[in-house]
């Protein structure tokens, strides 16, 4: 995709124009992100504060009333509740897969069943997440099955 | 509603497995005709063991050891339900060989029902993996 940045004339408002042959799923997500500015959030690690890009986050996990965001190599605390994350990013690739985890579905390499009726999701950074049976229908819906 | 659908699925897997094991046991014992009440007894056994199963299998365990313990307790609970039911239905006598036979039968039903469930899950996983590949493959 070609990206062109033009400087507006003095007095003109900043504007984003999308030119595309068809409004596909990727384009819709881009529009959604532009509209809501939801593509970043603040992460805290030790004494540092860092802006995290949503697409770099593999999953969110709630541990002892704290919520952590896991990227490929780093873990950040985020000052949000898991249900808030679930609601806020409902129209993105993030999906609740268990009581304690909201995963970025686009980071799942594959899923496989476990003998206990749950599924195991292998992520692109080789970590695994457990998908509770009750959330499997939601995952199927996310994948348009 | 989804939960009820799930429970009904369990009921069919378990009842079918009990029916299969019952057929094998009856054949091995040389019984030529299945007594009419047996089918109702099989369905009632299926209901009782389904209730035990859905109560236990959905408990979330944090560790692998917890999971193993959960399934051990599940098997004990199923046996605890099926031995008295078996005696009541006249499937076994209250004796060591009778109880051992029922424990083996419960284990066989367990393997069949969970095996069927696992195969269905494998199929579902295959579909999901296909869609994951199509949707996010290049990312």
Residue B121 counted as domain residue: no
**Mutation test of the interface with chain B: which of A113, A122, A131, choosing the one with the most B Cβ atoms within 10 A?**
A113
Each domain of chain A, given as residue ranges in start order, spans 37-142
Residue B133 counted as domain residue: no
Choice between B111 and B26, residue whose per-residue pLDDT is larger: B111
pLDDT confidence tier of residue B51, bands split at 50, 70 and 90 = very high
pLDDT confidence tier of residue A19, bands split at 50, 70 and 90 = confident
Residue B56 belongs to what domain range? 2-112
Choice between A71 and A39, residue whose per-residue pLDDT is larger: A71
Shortest CA gap B44–chain A (Å): 24
pLDDT at A107: 95
Counted across chains A and B, CB pairs separated by less than 8 A come out at 57
CATH of domain A37-142: 2.40.50.1020
> Six-digit token pair at B63?
């560790």
> In chain A, whose CA is at the least distance from the CA of B69?
A116
Q: How far is the C-alpha of A67 from the C-alpha of B4, rounded, in Å? A: 32
pLDDT confidence tier of residue A118, bands split at 50, 70 and 90 = confident
pTM equals 0.68
pLDDT tens for B63-106 read 778 888 988 999 999 999 999 999 999 888 889 999 999 999 99
Residue B120 counted as domain residue: no
The DSSP H or E segment spanning B53 is: helix B37-56
Residue B130 counted as domain residue: no
Residue A47 has phi, psi (to 5 degrees) of -100, 5
Q: Does residue A54 belong to the interface with chain B, where contact is any CB pair within 8 Å?
A: no
pLDDT at A33: 67
Residue B58 counted as domain residue: yes
Looking at the DSSP bridge assignments, the partners of residue A53 are A40
Distances (CA, A) of A76 to A46, A49, A70, A107, A125: 9, 9, 7, 17, 16
- Tell me how many domains chain B contains: 1
pLDDT tens for B97-139 read 999 999 999 999 999 998 988 899 999 999 999 999 998 875 5
Residue B73 counted as domain residue: yes
């Amino acid at each position: 995709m070609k990206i062109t940045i033009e400087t507006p004339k003095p007095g003109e408002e900043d504007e984003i124009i999308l030119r595309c042959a068809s409004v596909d799923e990727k384009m819709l997500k881009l529009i959604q992100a532009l509209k809501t500015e939801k593509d970043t959030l603040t992460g805290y690690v030790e004494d540092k504060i860092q802006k995290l890009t949503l697409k770099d986050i593999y999953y969110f996990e709630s541990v002892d009333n704290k919520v952590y965001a896991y990227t490929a190599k780093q873990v950040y605390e985020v000052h949000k509740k898991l249900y808030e994350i679930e609601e806020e990013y409902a129209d993105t690739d993030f999906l609740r897969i268990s009581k304690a985890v909201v995963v970025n579905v686009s980071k799942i390499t594959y899923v496989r069943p476990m003998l206990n009726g749950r599924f195991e999701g292998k992520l692109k950074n080789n970590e695994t997440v457990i998908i509770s049976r009750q959330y499997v229908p939601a995952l199927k819906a996310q994948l348009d099955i | 509603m989804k939960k009820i659908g799930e429970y009904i699925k369990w009921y069919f897997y378990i009842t079918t497995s009990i029916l299969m094991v019952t057929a094998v046991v009856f054949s091995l014992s040389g019984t030529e005709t299945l007594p009419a009440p047996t089918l109702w007894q099989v369905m009632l056994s299926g209901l009782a063991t389904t209730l035990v199963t859905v109560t236990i299998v959905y408990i979330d365990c944090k560790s692998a050891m917890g999971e193993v313990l959960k399934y051990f307790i599940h098997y004990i609970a199923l046996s605890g339900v099926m031995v008295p039911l078996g005696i009541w239905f006249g499937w076994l006598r209250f004796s060591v060989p009778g109880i051992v036979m029922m424990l083996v039968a419960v284990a066989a039903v367990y393997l069949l029902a969970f095996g069927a469930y696992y195969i269905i899950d494998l199929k579902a996983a295959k579909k999901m993996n296909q869609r994951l590949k199509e949707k996010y493959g290049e990312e």
